[in-house]
A = this chain, B = another copy of it.
Amino acid sequence: MENFVFYNPTKLVFGKNTVEQIGEYLKKDKIKKVLLLAGGGSIKKNGVYEKVVRSLIENSIEKVEVWGVRANPVVSKVREAIDVARKEKVDAILAVGGGSVIDSGKAVAAGVMYEGDVWDFYQGKATPKDALPLYTILTLSATGTEMNGGTVVTNEELLEKFSFWSIHTFPKVSIVDPEVQYSLPPHQTVNGAVDAISHVMEYYFDGAKRTDLIDRVDESIILTLMETTEALLNDPKDYDARANFALSTTLALNGISGLGHRGGDWSSHAIEHALSALNPEVAHGAGLAVVFPAWMKYVYKANPTKFRRFGRTIFRLKNSTPTQAIDALKRWYKKIGAPTTLKELGFKREDIETLTEIAAKTVPMGKLVKLEKEDIRKILEIAYEEE
């Protein structure tokens, strides 16, 4: 087990009828005016927006709104929101939506307090020294951003999808009401499941040794995500399945799943970011369903024991080979309707070269195996089509 420091100051407010508590939490913290950041309008359909507005009014909290954060959020929208936040002198950011809205909210919160351009944080040219307090209401459980300091944003001009992490961008309060997610289309639940399972696997397969407890915890999260995803595909309004699914996605990336690990491998994420940088229509979860198993096939020889354990604990395979374990994962992804090849995502063989170029901007990458540009190309080739 590796040394670690765990610190997660986010207050997680979880359960039924919690959205309407947002005003009280803001008032308790003496917030007078917020920038409400949102996506394309789904929160008007599912009733969340109305509850938020009523709660703000009841607690005498002013708001200014910025709409239009899209999936695979872009830095131009972040810059727009930073301008509004400054002009309107808000005390806090209130991000209401899925991972894209919250990740953008983190960038806005830190960007407002920084003189330079917010993209500097993503390029590692600067680190946040401070941020406006961030409050979030999560409407799509997937990325785990509601309880960590990380943010991923795309620079659409540079074709870069980069991330940064800061202790200043942990949400102060995050509200997760599983009922809000009853109306999600099935593919969003599937993408969320793949995303969260991938987060856990980034740690699980990072090559750390004797992480006895956290291996079991990670397997617990993956098994629960699999079980609840299948339950939700049958009945999207199964409250307890939604709740366990939501909690699993939060714990998948709030630090717990990686305690005593080597920080996670993150190669699959870095390669996937190239996919959605090139084609913003590719959902992050869908991209990961394609890239992660390909990465596994390329690297498993560095730790075959762990891949066999994965087959045994997750898929109940007895005496399986690593390849059988990886194939079982792909089969399950197919079963829930996730893509498993680049071809299915609409990429052509010629795109492999461009994707390699984009992903190679951050080489060397990875912990279990250190990957260079040539390795990325080979992984993308494995990912292209079914053998």
User: A residues engaging B (CB < 8 A)?
Assistant: 1-18, 209-214, 216-217, 219-221, 223-224, 227-228, 239-240, 243-244, 247-248, 251, 256, 259-260
- Considering the chains assembled together, what is the distance between the CA atoms of A4 and B176 in angstroms? 10
B260 touches A247 (CB 8 A): yes
Residues of B within 8 A of A10 (CB): 7
Residues of B within 8 A of A251 (CB): 213, 217, 256
A243 touches B256 (CB 8 A): no
B247 touches A228 (CB 8 A): no
Given the interface pairs A7-B12, A216-B224, A220-B220, the reply to whether A244 lies near B2 with Cβ below 8 Å is no
B248 touches A213 (CB 8 A): yes
Q: Which of B6, B210, B213, B244 contacts A1 (CB 8 A)?
A: B244
Those 6 A-B pairs whose CB atoms lie nearest each other, nearest first: A3-B15, A216-B220, A210-B240, A7-B11, A213-B224, A1-B243
Q: Which of B8, B12, B244, B256 contacts A212 (CB 8 A)?
A: B244
- Considering the chains assembled together, what is the distance between the CA atoms of A16 and B7 in angstroms? 18
Q: Which of B3, B8, B211 contacts A16 (CB 8 A)?
A: B3
Most buried by B among A224, A240, A244: A244
A3 touches B14 (CB 8 A): yes
- Considering the chains assembled together, what is the distance between the CA atoms of A4 and B6 in angstroms? 21
B1 touches A12 (CB 8 A): no
- Considering the chains assembled together, what is the distance between the CA atoms of A210 and B245 in angstroms? 12
B223 touches A216 (CB 8 A): yes
Given the interface pairs A210-B240, A213-B244, A220-B216, the reply to whether A6 lies near B14 with Cβ below 8 Å is yes
Residues of B within 8 A of A260 (CB): 14, 243-244, 247
- Considering the chains assembled together, what is the distance between the CA atoms of A86 and B9 in angstroms? 29
- Beyond known contacts A213-B221, A216-B223, A243-B260: 5 more, CB 8 A cutoff: A1-B239, A4-B14, A5-B13, A213-B247, A213-B248
